[in-house]
């Protein structure tokens, strides 16, 4: 385990000693060293890698925060392609995660889709709280947007997609017909952040009867369309949107669900953050699984993680709780919905 992680453990909830940017303690008495002369050499500047960066900071209360930044450099090309493709479709199906409907949405979606009719698919609803999902359906639906809960893994709710789309596009279909088009075909594009279930949805809706229509004028070369149902075609390449990390909770929640890899973050810190939420939600599954009492739920989250480690017999030599192993367990079990059907964000 890294020194940084050890420091984190010691300092949870305690007022931290001042640290330098690198995380090392500042040696206030140390003399300023003169920079050494560097021999002249032509060095090719290193290209910035688009990647997750983690910077640990502490808030006013002395609690550790980790600021997750994501530089979506490689997304620029995708975005351009997506904007081009969006011009070709009549409607957009945006897939979001029903457990985190705020953090799994790209806030620019309305602008990117240029006000096209939009269906929001609240996916993974098998792992979300049913009542919360119902509230989200209501909150997200408006004149030009319809929301439907789906579980693309089992297929539940997916059969509502075409009827809702037909209803939404009825006016558009009529106007095409009025212009003389016989059997106009409506085109739809799937968009969403990574790991939200876009491919799973496409595989399910295509029902292995992928009928690829020929390239048409104006259609990006290489685009493949398949028939979803009579009169509806879907682009088989989904538009990958990028999450927005405007505040650290978005990054954390995406890491809780596994939408972004948690190995770029401190696992114990992430589990502690998740426990902050789980303590409040206090589902029977969570309480039973970790054999917790009412008093345990009042514990500070790092102490609770240590208790979970003890209850699970996760100890390191010397009998200390193995909080790192417990952190992986809590995160894995949350992701597998073993701690209950949970929605972490409410409308």
Q: Which residues of 240-270 are buried (b: 16+ CB within 10 A; e: fewer)?
A: bbbbbbeebbbbbbbbbbebbebeebbbbbb
Smallest separation (angstroms) from ligand G4P to the CB of 69: 21
CB of 130 to ligand G4P, least distance (A): 14
Q: Cα separation of 293 and 287, whole Å?
A: 7
Q: Which of 90, 129, 151, 252 binds ligand G4P (CB under 6 A)?
A: 151
> What stretches of 107-230 adopt beta strand conformation (E)?
118-123, 145-149, 186-192, 225-229
Q: Is 123 in the site for ligand G4P (CB under 6 A)?
A: yes
CB of residue 250 vs ligand G4P: minimum separation in angstroms?
A: 17
**Is the CB of 89 or the CB of 241 nearer to ligand G4P?**
241
CA atoms within 13 Å, Cβ hemisphere of 68? 24
Quick one: 124 or 273, whose CB is closer to ligand G4P?
A: 124
3-state DSSP assignment of residue 38:
coil
Instruction: Tell me 30's DSSP state.
Output: P
Tokens of 261: 């890899």
Q: How far is the C-alpha of 82 from the C-alpha of 62, rounded, in Å? A: 43
CB 228 → ligand G4P: shortest distance, Å?
Answer: 17
CA 165 to chain CA centroid, nearest Å: 25
Q: In the bound complex, what is the minimum distance in angstroms from residue 242's beta carbon to ligand G4P?
A: 12
**Residue span 193-232 as binding mask against ligand G4P, x where in contact by CB under 6 A, dash where not:** -xxxxxxx--------------------------------
Q: How far is the CB of 195 from ligand G4P (least distance, A)?
A: 4
- Using the Cα atoms of residue 340, residue 158, residue 96 and residue 226 in order, give the sign of their dihedral: positive
Residue choice 68, 96, 127, 250 for contact with ligand G4P (CB under 6 A): 127
Q: What number of chain residues touch ligand G4P (CB under 6 A)?
A: 15
Q: Is residue 241 a contact point for ligand G4P (CB under 6 A)?
A: no
CB neighbour burial string for 310-324, b if at least 16 within 10 angstroms, e if fewer: bebebeeeeeebbbb
The reply to whether 94 sits near ligand G4P by the rule CB under 6 A is no
Q: How many CB atoms sit inside 10 A of residue 78's CB?
A: 15
Which residues, in sequence order, are bridge partners of residue 146?
A: 119
Closer by beta carbon to ligand G4P, 135 or else 153: 153
The nearer residue to ligand G4P, 127 or 255, going by C-beta atoms, is 127
Name the segment binding ligand G4P (CB under 6 A); options: 70-78, 99-107, 119-127, 217-225.
Answer: 119-127
Q: What is the pairing mode between strands 225-229 and 186-192?
A: unpaired
- Output 285 or 296, the one with its CB closest to ligand G4P: 285
| Residue 174-193 contact track with ligand G4P, rule CB under 6 A, x = bound | ------------------x-
CA–CA dist 53, 145 (Å, integer) = 35
Q: Shortest Cβ distance from residue 198 to ligand G4P (Å)?
A: 3
| 92 binds ligand G4P, rule: CB under 6 A | no
Looking at beta carbons only, is 125 or 305 nearer to ligand G4P?
A: 125
Nearer to ligand G4P, 169 or 344 (CB): 344
Q: Tell me: does residue 126 bind ligand G4P (CB under 6 A).
A: yes
């Amino acid at each position: 385990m890294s020194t940084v992680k050890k420091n984190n453990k010691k300092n949870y909830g305690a007022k931290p000693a001042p640290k330098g940017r690198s995380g090392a303690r500042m040696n206030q008495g140390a003399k300023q060293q003169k920079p050494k002369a560097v021999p002249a050499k032509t060095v090719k500047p290193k290209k910035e890698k688009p990647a997750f960066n983690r910077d640990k900071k502490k808030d006013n209360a002395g609690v550790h925060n980790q600021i997750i930044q994501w530089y979506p450099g490689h997304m620029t090309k995708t975005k351009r392609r997506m904007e081009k493709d969006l011009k070709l479709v009549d409607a957009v199906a945006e897939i979001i995660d029903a457990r985190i409907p705020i953090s799994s949405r790209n806030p620019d979606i309305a602008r990117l889709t240029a006000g096209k009719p939009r269906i929001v698919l609240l996916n993974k609803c098998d792992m979300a709280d049913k009542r919360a999902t119902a509230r989200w359906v209501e909150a997200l639906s408006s004149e030009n947007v319809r929301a439907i809960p789906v579980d693309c893994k089992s297929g539940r709710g997916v059969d509502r997609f075409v009827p809702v789309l037909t209803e939404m596009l009825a006016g558009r279909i009529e106007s095409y017909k009025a212009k003389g088009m016989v059997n106009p075909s409506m085109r739809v594009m799937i968009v969403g952040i990574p790991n939200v279930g876009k491919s799973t949805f496409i595989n399910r809706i295509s029902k292995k009867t992928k009928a690829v229509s020929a390239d048409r004028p104006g259609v990006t070369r290489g685009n493949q369309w398949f028939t979803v149902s009579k009169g509806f075609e879907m682009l088989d390449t989904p538009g990958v949107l990028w999450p927005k990390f405007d505040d650290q909770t978005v990054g954390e929640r995406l890491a809780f669900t596994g939408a972004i890899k948690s190995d770029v973050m401190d696992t114990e810190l992430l589990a502690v953050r998740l426990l902050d939420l789980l303590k409040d939600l206090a589902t029977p599954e969570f309480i039973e699984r970790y054999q917790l009492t009412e008093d345990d739920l009042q514990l500070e989250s790092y102490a609770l993680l240590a208790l979970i480690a003890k209850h699970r017999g996760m100890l390191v030599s010397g009998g200390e709780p193995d909080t790192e192993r417990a952190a992986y367990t809590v995160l894995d079990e949350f992701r597998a919905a073993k701690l209950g059907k949970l929605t972490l964000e409410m409308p």
